[in-house]
Amino acid sequence: MQRIFSGIQPSGIPTLGNYLGAIRNWVALQQGHECLYCLVDLHAITSWQDPAALRDQTRTQAAILLAAGIDAETHILFNQSAVSAHARLAWIFNCVARIGWLNRMTQFKDKAGKDREAVSSGLYVYPNLMAADIHAYHATRVPVGDDQRQHLELANDIAQKFNHDYAVEFFPAIEAVVPPEAARVMSLRDGTRKMSKSDPSDQSRINLTDDAATIALKIRRAKTDPEPLPSEAAGLEGRPEARNLATILGALSGRTLDQVLAEHGGSGFGPFKEALTAQVQESLAPISGETQRLLSDPGHLDRVLRRGAERANAIAEPIVREAERIVGFLS
């Protein structure tokens, strides 16, 4: 059975983008794979996090993942900092990856923006830690949103260079598993930027804990353009906000973009937004309800994560010890 690893940063409340680009896919992949799902708190602190908020967000994310259908009995759910193998292998990979490779990473450029000199060095080497997350388990399949493809290519480059430099066949190749529909969900305020849980504007995203009224308000305020919706996907050219909203409706209702547009083409955004609101509310209500129930018992969530970390550690420790032996550390 192939081993899957994927992570999500507890840097805020997961969004509809995280759900459609990652979480929903994670749930489906539990059939037929051995899955490790990780709350990547080491990644989260690459941008400053309030410590109390980080603890809360880690528990909230655990609750959301369980509520969305992650089975922490059959599979493994844990927080990254509880398994030291991640940080140890990341250091080795910092010494394998080339600066030139990291300089090409578009996510760093996006996140650092004009402030490149002032961001943390952790943000810069983030892709090396991500490579370590995966390779510490010899995972071969990694479900991610479209935005993470470049980091996975880098993880493969690092594995190849490690194997080459030390003349071993130790780290296997990994394959991205990107969901076909709605691989990238965009901001409700700007259809050219991805929806992000750390965007300063809460209006830019749907949080998976938003109630029905909040969802309705955010969709009502979502940016659109003055034209009615086209009847075919080709008509969305140059209309990123319209494309995004139609894509979200399609992804949540199990329809293609063309099917959504066949129904709503010619309609103004008023009635379309009502249909979208009803769909988002219906899709998210079971998750937000169950999340609230789980959050009422933080002790239970902590126990689930602790047990997950023990099981993750049992897999990663021998692999990372072997990597340490290969590079020449005394064991």
Which part of the chain contacts ligand AQP (CB under 6 A), choosing from 18-26, 74-82, 247-255, 310-318? 18-26
- What does the alpha-carbon distance between residue 180 and residue 145 come to, in Å, rounded to a whole number? 10
Which part of the chain contacts ligand AQP (CB under 6 A), choosing from 10-18, 242-250, 271-279, 286-294? 10-18
CB atoms within 10 A of CB 292: 13
Toward ligand AQP, which CB reaches closer, 147 or 241? 147
Q: How many residues bind ligand AQP (CB under 6 A)?
A: 22
Toward ligand AQP, which CB reaches closer, 9 or 60? 9
- Minimum CB separation of residue 231 from ligand AQP in Å reads 26
The encoded tokens of residue 187 equal: 């901001």
The encoded tokens of residue 17 equal: 């983008």
Residue 264 backbone dihedrals phi, psi, to 5 degrees: -105, -5
The 21-60 contact track toward ligand AQP, x by CB under 6 A, reads: xx--------------------------------------
196: contact with ligand AQP by CB under 6 A: yes
Residue type for position 231: S
What is each CA distance from 252 to 35, 272, 284, in whole angstroms?
Answer: 24, 14, 10
11: contact with ligand AQP by CB under 6 A: yes
Active site residue 218: no
195: contact with ligand AQP by CB under 6 A: yes
Of 8, 38, 70, 323, which lies in the binding site for ligand AQP, with binding defined by CB under 6 A?
8
Of 24, 197, 218, 273, which lies in the binding site for ligand AQP, with binding defined by CB under 6 A?
197
Residue 252 in contact with residue 280, Cβ under 8 Å?
Answer: yes
Residue 64 in contact with residue 14, Cβ under 8 Å?
Answer: yes
Residue type for position 228: P
- What does the alpha-carbon distance between residue 286 and residue 275 come to, in Å, rounded to a whole number? 18
Toward ligand AQP, which CB reaches closer, 112 or 326? 112
Toward ligand AQP, which CB reaches closer, 208 or 236? 208
- Minimum CB separation of residue 252 from ligand AQP in Å reads 13
- What does the alpha-carbon distance between residue 92 and residue 162 come to, in Å, rounded to a whole number? 9
Using alpha carbons, select from 69, 161, 89 the residue that is nearest to residue 323: 89
Toward ligand AQP, which CB reaches closer, 197 or 264? 197
Residues 110-149 that bind ligand AQP (CB under 6 A): 144-145, 147-148
Residue 174 in contact with residue 152, Cβ under 8 Å?
Answer: yes
Active site residue 194: yes
Using alpha carbons, select from 181, 206, 180, 183 the residue that is nearest to residue 64: 206
- What does the alpha-carbon distance between residue 144 and residue 194 come to, in Å, rounded to a whole number? 14
Of 90, 185, 295, 320, which lies in the binding site for ligand AQP, with binding defined by CB under 6 A?
185
Active site residue 197: yes
The residues annotated with a catalytic role in the active site are 111, 194, 197
Residues that bind ligand AQP (CB under 6 A): 7-9, 11-12, 15, 17-18, 20-22, 144-145, 147-148, 184-185, 194-198
